[in-house]
Amino acid sequence: MFENLKEQPADKILALMQLYREDPREQKIDLGVGVYKDASGNTPIMRAVKTAEKQLWEAETTKAYTGLAGDPGFSDAMIALVLGDAVPRANVAAAATPGGTGAVRQAFDLVRMASPSGKVYVSDPTWPNHLSILKHMGIPFTPYRYFDNETRAVDFDGMMADLAQAGKGDVVLLHGCCHNPTGANLNLSQWQAVVDLLLKTGATPMIDIAYQGFGDGLEEDAAGVRLVASSVPECLIAASCSKNFGIYRERTGLLMAVSNDAGAQKLNQGTLNYLNRQNYSFPPDYGARLVTMVLTDPALRADWAAELEEVRNSMLGLREQLAAELQRLSGSDRFGFIAQHRGMFSRLGASPEQVETLRRDHGIYMVGDSRLNIAGLNKSSVPILAEAIVKSGI
């Protein structure tokens, strides 16, 4: 039977991670996979998370199963973090998932059950794994214009024109903040216009929020999600704790189904529980428990929020330094967008050949669509990157 299996395409981001590891050069710069790195190139365990781990080790007395949706305390804490008081808690069904990817996968599963002939509208470009999962599941999808390659900003008119085609039973996949891979984001009045359009067309929004706190701040980054959730009849939200809690390998995420009909919550919750049971039974608990402890203990929460601000500000500083260095070396303002973008990524707008030149000649690794991970830089690698970019004719 195994002979029937076909070679699967390698995930481009993960393949690049491997290529970087195998590169023997001393001077190499990893701007590939979306993992935060500090100035010394380490991905630290956040202080509050480390403290919570110690406390958990002391206090935990059992590893018996939790519930199918995970620990309810985790759902409560994460719903409050993402949605604030935008919608009544009773309107939200939620289930813990293995990471943000798990939440995305479960959300698509729910879409397939609820709207078998529905289409998913995805931004062009989007996180490649969105497309890969949709393909794998056989769910039809169609791109909507999002990124203007000239201005490196959101092509908002194109986006609105394309999303006007989505109808009831279709799903519009949006990035809550810090768009991956472009770094170009909607402002609040654009979010409002998207909401108005969704209300008109009846399409259901699904929001993937994986970088809350990495853009303009914890509250600011959730503003679009909150606006959508409080305005439309129903929506899906996939939240990741990998990046903003730095617990990548613990696989911690939450899927939320929000309905302004509180009566629907029971059915939605039952569906999320059922989906967890079919796919892996109980979701992982360790990371979720750490997140709950951090969010519900005022001292840990304050420390976590402060460290997240340090992380955010360091990325902003690197963006500004890189934009300034490129302006100096190129004598033009054409890289100003790097300082405007938010989150971990920016799409540089280089050709695949130029990306390859950066890797081959300069040991600089970025994803083939020229997405660069700002957090892979530090003060001393910024000038090296800027020089290589200009030398490569980008």
Q: How far is the CB of 106 from ligand LMR (least distance, A)?
A: 16
Q: Does 33 bind ligand LMR (CB under 6 A)?
A: yes
Contact between 34 and ligand LMR per CB under 6 A: yes
Among 94, 107, 210, 223, the one annotated catalytic:
210
Looking at residue 311, its amino acid is V
Q: Is 294 a binder of ligand LMR (CB under 6 A)?
A: no
> Using CB under 6 A as the criterion, what x/- string covers residues 299-338 for binding ligand LMR?
----------------------------------------
Site string for ligand LMR, 154-193 (x = CB under 6 A): --------------------------x-------------
φ/ψ of residue 140, rounded to 5: -65, 140
Helix 286-296 to helix 72-83 angle, to the nearest 10 degrees? 60
- The residue count for binding ligand LMR (CB under 6 A) is 6
Compare residues 99 and 224 and give the one whose CB is closer to ligand LMR: 99
Give the CB-nearest residue to ligand LMR: 34
C-alpha 219/C-alpha 196 separation (Å) is 22
Binding ligand LMR (rule: CB under 6 A), the pick from 126, 129, 212, 259 is: 129
- Which of these, 336, 311, 391, 335, lies nearest to 358 by C-alpha position? 391
- Pick the catalytic residue from 48, 191, 243, 388: 243
Q: How far is residue 250's CA from residue 288's CA, in Å, rounded to a whole number? A: 8
Amino acid at 264: A
- Give the total residue count for the chain: 394
CB of 99 to ligand LMR, least distance (A): 8
The answer to whether residues 120 and 141 touch, using CB atoms and an 8 Å cutoff, is yes
Q: Decide if 385 contacts 348 (C-beta within 8 A).
A: no
List the catalytic residue out of 107, 127, 170, 323.
Answer: 127
Nearer to ligand LMR by Cβ, of 125 and 349: the residue is 125
Beta strands in 99-181, from DSSP E residues, in sequence order: 120-124, 141-145, 147-148, 153-154, 171-175
DSSP run (H or E) holding 295: helix 286-296
* Least Cβ distance, residue 207 to ligand LMR (angstroms): 15
Respond yes or no: is residue 208 known to be catalytic: yes
Is residue 244 a contact point for ligand LMR (CB under 6 A)?
no
Strand 171-175 to 120-124 pairing: parallel
Q: Quick check: 127 binds ligand LMR (CB under 6 A)?
A: yes
3-state class (DSSP) for residue 364? strand
Nearer to ligand LMR (CB atom), residue 180 or residue 314: 180
Residue in 30, 109, 208, 221 annotated catalytic: 208
| DSSP 3-state of 290 | helix
- Any catalytic annotation for residue 243? yes
Least separation in angstroms between residue 203's CB and ligand LMR is 25
Annotated catalytic residue 127: yes
357 binds ligand LMR per the rule CB under 6 A? no
Which of residues 156 and 211 has its CB atom nearest to ligand LMR in the complex?
Answer: 211
**Can you state the angle between helices 286-296 and 298-330, rounded to 10 degrees?**
100
Q: How far is CA 139 from the centre of its chain?
A: 21
Is 13 an interacting residue with respect to ligand LMR (CB under 6 A)? Answer: yes
Q: What letter represents residue 185's amino acid?
A: N
Find the shortest distance in angstroms from Cβ 165 to ligand LMR.
27
Buried b (16+ CB within 10 A) or exposed e, 3-20: eeeeeeeeebbeebeeeb
Residues that bind ligand LMR in the complex, under the rule CB under 6 A: 13, 33-34, 127, 129, 180
The residues annotated with a catalytic role in the active site are 127, 208, 210, 243
